[in-house]
Structure 1
């Protein structure tokens, strides 16, 4: 059984790291952009206080469709759009590999707010990586009022569907491509 888990981990790592990161067609990019606009509206609809976060943050990255699954070994992936001072500046890829007690699959949205240019530049230089101690706030009415920046970033998520025992953002890595 341990051999199977090691093989599964290696396969997931290869899939998440070898897949073309930005090989989408123009129509796929346009769909991701449209989905990010819809996700932003849904974040604000779920918690009206988030409008101020979108307006006042230095920048943000929206991942409108993140898929996550696993059984002992898991992975997550999603594509998103990056904004600097409310202007679209690029596309991003999220990937995650995890090991531990987990089972199932889920789909969710994720938004990362950047408090400063320095924090956004770390992301744009693909130097932002979430460790196991980073947590995300699940969006519901008023939840963003308690969210705080940690090392210049704040992460909020919104469940779309599925059932999974485990929902951390630890281990996430990002790649950025300017427009």
Structure 2
């Protein structure tokens, strides 16, 4: 029973920490920007080979704090920063709804690399989403060595905390706001 209470506390904390990106104060945006820089450093620290991905990708989006929770029906959300040719170009919002066997909550980081201008433009036009079949690579040392772009996109995640059991179907959608 105590473990179930812990799971509900984590789920509640994840859901309460998710705030809409639109209408955020400058201080909140600056925090997301600072957190994205920290997340980038953590990705590279965990797998030094990722530095080349950040340097060579046409663009990328870093979501430094994604909260995910669910019990049967779940959701995830996070705010991030978009970079094009290593220059900050806007803010982004990730949202996900899933249905299936799942219980718990977790927090993680996510980075999406775009190989070309076409994929980056689709993202900037908020026409980009992942299907249920899309997969991400968990970052560990050397994990990026053999990863290739799929349809011009490459995704990495890094768990920050929490516990979640899941076998669900759902996709991620994104919204972009120019700076």
CA contact (8 A) 2:99 2:170 kept: no
Looking at structure 2, the residues matched to 69 and 152 of structure 1 have their Cα atoms a distance apart, in angstroms, of 29
Is residue 2:78 matched to residue 1:78?
yes
CA contact (8 A) 1:95 1:172 kept: yes
Looking at structure 1, the residues matched to 86 and 146 of structure 2 have their Cα atoms a distance apart, in angstroms, of 23
CA contact (8 A) 1:135 1:168 kept: no
TM-score after normalising by structure 1: 0.87
The structure with the largest strand share of the pair is 2
Structure 1 residues 20 and 37: CA distance shift in structure 2, 3 A: closer
TM-score after normalising by structure 2: 0.87
* Unpaired stretches in structure 2, ≥5 consecutive residues: 1-14
Structure 1 residues 167 and 148: CA distance shift in structure 2, 3 A: farther
Give 1:145 shift. Answer: 1.1
Moved over 6 A (4+): none
CA RMSD of superposed structures (Å): 1.6
Looking at structure 2, the residues matched to 68 and 123 of structure 1 have their Cα atoms a distance apart, in angstroms, of 22
Structure 1 residues 169 and 148: CA distance shift in structure 2, 3 A: farther
Counterpart in the other structure of 2:94: 94
Spell out, residue by residue over 1:73-113, the C-alpha distance to the aligned partner (whole angstroms, 9 max, x if none): 00000000000000000000000000000110000000000
CA contact (8 A) 1:134 1:170 kept: no
Spell out, residue by residue over 1:19-67, the C-alpha distance to the aligned partner (whole angstroms, 9 max, x if none): 7442210000000000000000000000000000000000000000000
Structure 1 residues 167 and 48: CA distance shift in structure 2, 3 A: farther
